[in-house]
């Protein structure tokens, strides 16, 4: 059996705990101000002392995420999931995939679910602050859909093809309504009526300006049966007269009324419409922009750090941090009996912790606590019994 290098008891606990976690749930809890040293030490301890064939690798198609990357990813997922819940979604998890989809299944009046899906797309992309975006809508394989499935005459479908190079909102739909070849065909009128109704709902939702009717849009998946849509980010043009450039799709969806019936033993058809958010693509875009602009990312949510400038105050620090924890306040302290004050304060500045609670001999004698604002470096003395209330007040104001 391959021999592993010796690990300390704590390192074994962390290592085995990671092996027990399912993919995607890995959590790294670094040792506070010594996180880089600890990670390097842990990595060195995993190196075998003798030559070994035992190699730990990430599964194909996956990758490890650093604490900074995890923060970015979790923020994106929180925005997506919160929006889904706001629209009444029920959670569904599968062992094989990690998808961020929103689907509406059932028989409903035309275009109401479709309009909500487009509204959801707009909410998520706006909240993620990815920049300007546009949602293109069309329907699956225009000419085939019109001739084979909808029964339109080929010449009518060809007339629709004349509009493929056009794009716009309700005005384009109105223009197609005025075309004699289209207005005289029942099926064409029904389709245009649905699109007009969709834009009316989008106008009520306040997102019509973000949606463009674009017949050139084509989705490659065969299961789409009607309206399809795709959200793209637009690159700001260098010159004012230039049109925004498409820099990639970040969300897509459409209507797929026949897909569910394919998996039903009785072949029951369930009308469905849905959307999918490109979490991985959005993650890559956000990560790259943060690197470009040098944005600093907090890897913890710690609100208060409990510090001391003197020796033999570990128990007093433990009392204070327990009180903060019991009040639901996120707090840390340094895992040393007698830490020096300067490294404690530097750690708070590096990690973006807003408040420091300081206790020493003088504070203990006077029954007070020093509360330090990390950004301003201002310190005030407060009564010991008012600690939690004062911290909560400061946090609510920030």
Write out pLDDT tens, residues 356-390.
999 999 999 999 999 999 999 999 999 999 999 99
Q: What is the pLDDT of residues 46-69, one digit of tens each?
A: 455 556 566 777 777 677 888 888
Most confident residue range from 154-168, 170-184, 313-327: 313-327
- How many whole angstroms separate alpha carbon 264 and alpha carbon 274? 19
Cα radius of gyration (the chain): 29
Task: Kindly state the percentage of the chain with pLDDT values over 70.
Answer: 71
Taking the whole predicted model, whether its pTM rises above 0.75 is answered as no
Distance CA 341, CA 2 (A): 45
Q: 30, exposed or middle or buried, with CB in 10 Å at 0-12, 13-18, 19+?
A: middle
Write the CA distances from 8 to 1, 43, 48, integer angstroms.
Answer: 20, 12, 14
| pLDDT value, residue 221 | 61
Rounded (10°) CA dihedral 198, 202, 208, 213: -20
Whether residue 331 has pLDDT greater than 70: yes
Contact 182, 159 (CB under 8 A): yes
C-beta separation of 102 from 87 below 8 A: yes
3-state secondary structure of 127: helix
Handedness of CA 157, 158, 159, 161 (dihedral sign): positive
Q: Is the pLDDT of residue 310 over 80?
A: yes
Token pair of 12, please?
């074994």
**Angle CA 216–221–222, to nearest 5:** 100
Q: How confident is the model at residue 42 (pLDDT cuts 50, 70, 90)?
A: very low
Lowest mean pLDDT among 3-12, 102-111, 123-132, 220-229: 3-12
pLDDT at 150: 56
Closest CA to 246 of 232, 257, 264: 232
């Amino acid at each position: 059996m391959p021999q592993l290098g010796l690990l300390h008891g704590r390192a074994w606990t962390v290592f085995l705990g990671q092996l027990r976690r399912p993919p995607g749930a890995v959590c790294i809890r670094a040792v506070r101000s010594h996180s880089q040293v600890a990670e390097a030490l842990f990595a060195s301890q995993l190196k075998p002392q003798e030559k070994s064939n035992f190699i730990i690798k990430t599964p194909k198609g996956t990758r490890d995420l650093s604490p900074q990357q995890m923060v970015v990813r979790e923020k994106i997922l929180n925005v997506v999931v919160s929006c889904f819940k706001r629209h009444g979604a029920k959670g569904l998890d599968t062992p094989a995939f990690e998808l961020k989809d929103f689907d509406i299944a059932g028989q409903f009046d035309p275009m109401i679910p479709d309009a909500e899906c487009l509204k959801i797309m707009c909410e998520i992309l706006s909240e993620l602050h990815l920049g300007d975006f546009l949602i293109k809508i069309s329907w699956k394989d225009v000419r085939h859909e019109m001739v084979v499935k909808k029964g339109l005459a080929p010449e009518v479908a060809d007339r629709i093809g004349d509009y493929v190079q056009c794009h716009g909102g309700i005005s384009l739909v109105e223009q197609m309504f005025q075309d004699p070849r289209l207005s005289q065909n029942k099926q064409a009128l029904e389709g245009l009526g649905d699109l007009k109704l969709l834009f009316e709902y989008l106008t009520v939702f306040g997102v019509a300006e973000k949606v463009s009717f674009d017949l050139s849009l084509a989705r490659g998946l065969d299961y789409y049966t009607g309206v399809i849509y795709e959200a793209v980010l637009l690159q700001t043009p260098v010159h004012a007269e230039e049109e925004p450039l498409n820099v990639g799709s970040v969300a897509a969806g459409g209507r797929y009324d026949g897909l569910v019936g394919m998996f039903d033993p009785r072949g029951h058809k369930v009308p469905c419409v849905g959307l999918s958010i490109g979490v991985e693509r959005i993650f890559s875009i956000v990560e790259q922009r943060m690197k470009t602009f040098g944005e600093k990312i907090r890897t913890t949510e710690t609100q208060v750090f409990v510090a001391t400038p003197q020796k033999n105050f570990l128990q007093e620090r433990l009392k204070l941090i327990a009180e903060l924890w019991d009040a639901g306040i996120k707090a840390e302290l340094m895992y040393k009996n007698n830490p020096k004050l300067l490294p404690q304060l530097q750690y708070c500045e590096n990690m973006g912790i807003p408040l420091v609670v300081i206790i020493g001999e003088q504070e203990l004698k006077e029954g007070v606590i020093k509360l330090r604002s990390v950004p301003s470096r201002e310190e005030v003395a407060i009564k010991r019994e008012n600690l939690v209330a004062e911290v909560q007040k400061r946090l609510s104001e920030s």
